[in-house]
Amino acid sequence: MNERIVALLAAPAVVAIGASHFADGVRDQGAPVVQVEWRPPRETDDAVRRALEKLL
């Protein structure tokens, strides 16, 4: 089996991005989890990112 899937199935460790109650669910089961304080990107950020992507 591919080793990245083996690692996931052997010892899952989670980064939660979005609704915090899913991270709570992981924590309640005793598994490692970090919650990212996510917020929607601003439209101007999107425009800048697209412009940068074109340049790079």
List interacting residues with other proteins (CB under 8 A).
1-5, 7-29, 31-42
CB of 33 to other proteins, least distance (A): 8
Task: Give, for 35, the enclosing helix (H) or strand (E).
Answer: strand 33-36
CB of 56 to other proteins, least distance (A): 14
Q: Closer to other proteins at the Cβ: 17 or 47?
A: 17
Cβ neighbours of residue 20 under 8 Å, at least 6 residues apart? 35
CB 33 within 8 A of CB 14: yes
Q: Closer to other proteins at the Cβ: 37 or 55?
A: 37
